[in-house]
Amino acid sequence: MSLFALVDCNNFFVSCERIFRPDLNGRPVVVLSSNDGCVIARSNEAKAAGVPMGAPAYQYRELFEKYGMAIFSSNFEIYSDISARVMSILSSYTPDLQMYSIDEAFLDLSDMSDMPDVEALGQKIRRHVMKWVGVPVSVGFAPTKALAKIATHIAKKFPQRTGGVYSIDSEERRVKALKWMPVEEVWGIGRKHARMLTDMGVRRAYGFTMLSDRFVKEKMSVSGLRLKMELEGRSVIEMDSIQSRKNIMVSRTFETPIVEFDVLRERITAFAATAAGKLRRQGSLARSLVVYIRTNYHNTSAAQYSANRMVRFDFDTNSDIEIVKYAVKALGEIYREGYGIKKAGVTLMEFSDEHAHQLSMFDERDLRHIELMRVMDRVNVEYGKMSLRLASQGGGLREKLKQENLSPNYTTDINDIIVVHAEE
């Protein structure tokens, strides 16, 4: 019998900001996307005030004002750091941990020698994370990942009754949960499929599991079928760990569209260099990349253009210099004069392990790059990001980003470390 726990941080980005601003507990808080464009995290109070997920910030200024909401620009340096601390605590419960996203992880407890008292275990995890990191979490237990998702959903939705921990550990609870769960909130059923299902009169997860396998597969492909099996209690969803990611993407939306090739090249260069740095940090080499550019699709009156180009390298590499060279080449092939490019990005693909890599006789990799990159990464850790960079990448990633409400990097930048005033 399989058993999974899903641990999910509550309103994660907001909770991160509150660690350093405890005065904001109980007050409405929102966190905005890059460029301060739209809302990507809300406290319970902000949700209650009617701020939807993904809301464009400019449309909600009045509401923010009315409720005296605290507004933060997103600070992913802090969030990643807090996330790593939470994950490290969770991994002390089982080595079989799959970080599913920045704020949640599945713990595979199937191999535990004796069946744990899940209620007690869940509470222990909650206290542990709260005490050592200061982030509230919800915990759900179930025999499959999709059911554990629902269990966590229930724990979060009814904190008073569940104490933040819920377990789907009997057929009775499974059916009860599915009969309660709205179909559009089920993990794996998105807008399109939810619409199709409710149009047919299927409004709850339970109704979805009553459909025929054939129908589900035809309309929702094998992913839909796997989901159905999971909801029925058969564990079939496997997940790779975050360490074996298949792509690394760096992209940005520009505040003002970019028309000139030289400006665009500078941005693409910065994206490629940032992606290469991430690649080195996870100890991988890449074999290919995709560069994409597109105009603003919200602006329907302007001429639209979007394109992407894949290039395969002559050899596996993680050098800024090589990767930037290929990215600029790809950009050159898709660039068209006269379009205002609103968003662009670089994705690295086809990874291999840096250390397992065998130098072939025909390997054209310039070995001097390896040492150069090592030095560059070291300098940047010691003296701050972007201290050392390629001349062609301009001001780097943050250039032209609007971030009016950015919090300091309390935990990751020595200059921003929190100061405690002690009184006698």
Minimum CB distance to DNA, residue 54 (Å): 5
- Say how far apart CA 17 and CA 40 lie, in whole Å: 13
> Both tokens of residue 116?
């744990």
Q: What are phi and psi of 62, to 5 degrees?
A: -60, -45
Three state DSSP letters for the chain? CCCEEEEEECCHHHHHHHHHCHHHCCCCEEEECHHHCEEEEECHHHHHCCCCCCCEHHHCHHHHHHHCCEEEECCHHHHHHHHHHHHHHHCCCCCCEEEEECCEEEEECCCCCCCCCHHHHHHHHHHHHHHHCCCCEEEEEECCHHHHHHHHHHHHHCHHHHCCEEECCCHHHHHHHHHHCEHHHCCCCCHHHHHHHHHCCCCEHHHHHCCCHHHHHHHHHHHHHHHHHHHCCCCCCCCCCHHHCCEEEEEEEEEEEECCHHHHHHHHHHHHHHHHHHHHHCCEEEEEEEEEEECCCCCCCCCCCEEEEEEEEEEEECCHHHHHHHHHHHHHHHCCCCCCEEEEEEEEEEEEECCCCCCCCCCCCCHHHHHHHHHHHHHHHHHCCCCCCCHHHCCCCCCCCCCCCECCCCCCCHHHCCCCCCCC
- Among positions 126, 149, 280, 365, the unique one binding DNA when judged by CB under 7 A: 149
Task: Check residue 35 for interaction with DNA (CB under 7 A).
Answer: yes
- Among positions 191, 214, 355, 421, the unique one binding DNA when judged by CB under 7 A: 191
Task: Check residue 345 for interaction with DNA (CB under 7 A).
Answer: yes
Task: Check residue 100 for interaction with DNA (CB under 7 A).
Answer: yes
- Among positions 26, 50, 52, 54, the unique one binding DNA when judged by CB under 7 A: 54
Minimum CB distance to DNA, residue 144 (Å): 15
> Both tokens of residue 156?
């979060």
- Among positions 29, 38, 121, 376, the unique one binding DNA when judged by CB under 7 A: 38
Minimum CB distance to DNA, residue 185 (Å): 8
Nearer to DNA, 55 or 121 (CB): 55
Minimum CB distance to DNA, residue 6 (Å): 10
Minimum CB distance to DNA, residue 321 (Å): 21
Task: Check residue 198 for interaction with DNA (CB under 7 A).
Answer: no
By CB under 7 A, the count of residues binding DNA is 48
Nearer to DNA, 102 or 135 (CB): 102
Task: Check residue 366 for interaction with DNA (CB under 7 A).
Answer: no
Task: Check residue 207 for interaction with DNA (CB under 7 A).
Answer: no
x/- mask, DNA, residues 294-323, rule CB under 7 A, reads: --x-xx--------x-x-x-----------
Minimum CB distance to DNA, residue 148 (Å): 11
Minimum CB distance to DNA, residue 112 (Å): 25
Minimum CB distance to DNA, residue 192 (Å): 3
Nearer to DNA, 22 or 338 (CB): 338
Can you give the length of the chain in residues? 424
Q: What are phi and psi of 267, to 5 degrees?
A: -65, -45
Task: Check residue 33 for interaction with DNA (CB under 7 A).
Answer: yes
Minimum CB distance to DNA, residue 300 (Å): 10
- Say how far apart CA 344 and CA 15 lie, in whole Å: 30
Nearer to DNA, 47 or 112 (CB): 47
Minimum CB distance to DNA, residue 66 (Å): 17
Question: Please, which of residues 59-98 interact with DNA by CB under 7 A?
Answer: none
Minimum CB distance to DNA, residue 408 (Å): 20
Question: Please, which of residues 212-271 interact with DNA by CB under 7 A?
Answer: 221-223, 240, 245-253, 255
Three state DSSP letters for 313-352? EEEEECCHHHHHHHHHHHHHHHCCCCCCEEEEEEEEEEEE
Task: Check residue 137 for interaction with DNA (CB under 7 A).
Answer: no
Nearer to DNA, 40 or 372 (CB): 40
Nearer to DNA, 122 or 345 (CB): 345
Which chain residues interact with DNA by CB under 7 A? 33-35, 37-38, 40, 54, 56, 58, 100-104, 149, 186-194, 221-223, 240, 245-253, 255, 278, 296, 298-299, 308, 310, 312, 343, 345, 347
